Homo-oligomer: A and B are copies of this chain.
Amino acid sequence: MNNEQYELSQRQNRTREHLKQAFIQLIKEKGYHAVTVKDIVDQAAYNRSTFYLHFQDKIELADDLLHSMLQGLEDSVGKPYVHGQKVYTTKLNFPSFNLVTYIYEHRHFFELIKYEDTLPGLHTQLPSTITKIYNEQFIFKTINDIPVNMDYFKRYTSYGFYGLIIHWISNDFHTPQEEFIQDVIDLSKTHIYSFEYVGR
Residues of A within 8 A of B (CB): 10, 14, 18, 45-46, 174, 176
Residue from the list B10, B14, B18, B174 in contact with A176, Cβ < 8 A: B174
Give the CA-CA distance A18 to B14 in the complex, in Å: 10
A-B contact pairs, 6 of them (CB 8 A): A10-B45, A10-B46, A14-B14, A14-B18, A174-B176, A176-B176
Give the CA-CA distance A169 to B168 in the complex, in Å: 24
A176 neighbours in B (Cβ, 8 Å): 174, 176
Task: Tell me which of A18, A46, A174, A176 has the highest count of chain B C-beta atoms within 10 A of its own C-beta.
Answer: A176
* Interface SS, A side: loop
Write the nearest CB–CB distance from A60 to chain B, whole angstroms. Answer: 23
Give the CA-CA distance A176 to B171 in the complex, in Å: 13
Write the nearest CB–CB distance from A109 to chain B, whole angstroms. Answer: 18
- Cβ-closest 6 pairs across A and B: A10-B45, A174-B176, A14-B14, A14-B18, A10-B46, A176-B176
A10 neighbours in B (Cβ, 8 Å): 45-46
Residue in B closest to A9 when the chains form the complex, CB atoms:
B45
Write the nearest CB–CB distance from A80 to chain B, whole angstroms. Answer: 17
Give the CA-CA distance A174 to B84 in the complex, in Å: 13
Write the nearest CB–CB distance from A83 to chain B, whole angstroms. Answer: 10
Write the nearest CB–CB distance from A12 to chain B, whole angstroms. Answer: 11
Task: Tell me which of A14, A18, A174 has the highest count of chain B C-beta atoms within 10 A of its own C-beta.
Answer: A14
A174 neighbours in B (Cβ, 8 Å): 176
Give the CA-CA distance A18 to B11 in the complex, in Å: 11
Write the nearest CB–CB distance from A161 to chain B, whole angstroms. Answer: 24
